[in-house]
Amino acid sequence: MRIFTGYRVHHSLDRGPAKGGIRYHPDVTLDEVKALAMWMTWKCAVVNIPFGGAKGAVVCNPKEMSKGELERLTRRYTTELMIFLGPEKDIPAPDVYTDSQTMAWIMDTYSMNVGYSVPSVVTGKPLSIGGSRGREEATGRGVVLTILEAIKELGIPKEGATVAVQGFGNVGGTAVRLLCREGFKVVAVSDSHGGTYNSHGLDVDALSEHKREAGTVVGFPGGEDITNEELLALKCDVLVPAALENQITEENADNVQAKILAEGANGPTTPEADLILYDKGVFVIPDILANAGGVTVSYFEWVQSIQEFFWSEDEVNARLKDIMVRSFHEVYDVHREEKVDMRLAAYMLAVGRVAEAFHTRGLYP
């Protein structure tokens, strides 16, 4: 028998049901979960979808656990949370070291307890039990949509604009593929082992094949090896940190030469670095806007599951584009009118919307 510690934090329910992922990690803490739940509140508010913020976690090391152990852990965790969960109350999603299978177990456990199938209790499910098309690419696609609007506003020609992407996982990999299709020139890509660089542009298909075979982009024949630190300092039009938090700090922010920094990851830039980047004239698309495509399509999945009426991938992508483009310009308008950076503009918009909901509803009892 093993006893694990699990958390579920609700930060705000003022604008709708709690929404947020569940992560399995040996080092996760309650303070971390609280902070992530708050982040979800602002992220949902900035793109104006009707959710509040939540986050969950179990302190465990899934790499040391069998599939059966993970299933038993997940079902027990779900059972303990039954009083909080529900399509109108709290809708979990995958996060670090959880995936669509984890969501399937949660959905099944919840359904068995209530006595009928409830696909809308989670998002990020497999398509076979009510998942949404387009969900897997949604976060990276949202990053690209905000970049496209930013280069229009800044007057940077799209064709041949240079891009460096830190991270070649789900978000970074999707962003790289979509940016290439849009005519950008991806000159550098990295993963946890290091990066590869080619000033003339990388062959993304060949790079993806190399990553599949070698497990890393390092050693790619079509580029020269660089470190993650060197990638962040490259001269380029667009830099996309899509890996870990706290990558751009007070120590290296002055080395950033990109014109646009689009945060595919959560919290890749520290507050101290923010000030340096703003003074340098780097246009930062903050994480709560840039990577909100994932939670937006999670909202679409929830809507589809409730209605039991499913959309094509083209419909999902078109609706995502509408929301991301509108949200970018709402934040950009605040940035321009109030003469603040884009991050502060995004928080002003998000906190304002939550505060308005709070005051409109009033206090009871």
Domain match, 176 and 213 both: yes
Encode pLDDT of 16-64 as tens digits. Answer: 999 999 999 999 999 999 999 999 999 999 999 999 999 999 999 999 9
The boundaries of the domain holding residue 224 are 138-290
> Per-residue pLDDT tens for 310-327?
999 999 999 999 999 999
Mean pLDDT of 233-261: 92
Do 277 and 144 belong together in one domain? yes
Q: What is the mean pLDDT of residues 210-221?
A: 91
- The tokens for 173 are 């990999």
What pLDDT does residue 161 have? 93
Residue 14 lies in a domain: yes
Q: Is the pLDDT of residue 243 over 90?
A: no
How confident is the prediction for the chain on average, in pLDDT?
A: 94
Summarised one tens digit per residue, pLDDT across range 160-175 is 899 999 999 889 999 9
Q: What is the pLDDT of residues 260-314, one digit of tens each?
A: 999 999 889 999 999 999 999 999 999 999 999 999 999 999 999 999 999 999 9
* Cis status, amide bond into 365, omega within 30 of 0: yes
pLDDT for the residue 356: 97
Could you give the percent of the chain with pLDDT greater than 90? 93
- Residues 21, 10 contacting (CB under 8 angstroms): no
Residue 26 CA: distances (Å) to CA of 1, 60, 64, 148, 290 = 18, 4, 10, 38, 28
C-alpha–C-alpha distance, residues 169 and 47, integer Å: 24
Mean pLDDT of 126-148: 94
Q: Answer yes or no: are the C-beta atoms of 246 and 270 closer than 8 Å.
A: yes
138 neighbors 294 (Cβ within 8 angstroms):
yes
User: Do 191 and 246 fall into the same domain?
Assistant: yes
Number of domains observed in the structure of the chain: 2
CATH number where 196 lies: 3.40.50.720
Residues 102 and 146 in one domain: no
Q: What is the pLDDT of residues 192-208, one digit of tens each?
A: 899 999 999 999 999 99
Q: How far apart are CA 349 and CA 68, in angstroms?
A: 44
Residue 246 pLDDT > 90: no
Instruction: Supply the pLDDT for residue 245.
Output: 84
| 344-365 pLDDT, tens digit each | 999 999 999 999 999 999 988 8
Active site residues: 55
Residues 148 and 260 in one domain: yes
Q: Are 122 and 301 in contact (CB under 8 A)?
A: no
Give φ, ψ of 159 to 5 degrees. -65, 120
Number of Cβ within a 10 Å radius of residue 212: 8
Both 98 and 187 in a single domain? no
Which tokens belong to 190? 């990295």
Per-residue model confidence as pLDDT tens digits over 64-80: 999 999 999 999 999 99
Domain boundary among 244, 262, 290: 290
* Phi-psi sector, 130: left (phi>0), alpha (psi -120 to 50), beta: left
Confidence of residue 96 (pLDDT cuts 50, 70, 90): confident
pLDDT at 365: 82
Instruction: Tell me the one-letter amino acid at 229.
Output: E
Integer angstrom CA distances of residue 279 from 20, 247, 256, 282, 284: 34, 18, 12, 8, 12
Co-location of 33 and 164 in the same domain? no
Cβ–Cβ < 8 Å for 81, 22? no
176: left (phi over 0), alpha (psi -120 to 50) or beta: alpha
Shared domain for 84 and 142, answered yes or no, is no
150 and 113 in a common domain: no
Residue 226 neighbours by CB distance under 10 Å:
19
Residue 184: the pLDDT is 94
Q: CB of 348 within 8 A of CB of 340?
A: yes
Smallest Cα–Cα separation from 86: which of 8, 175, 140? 8
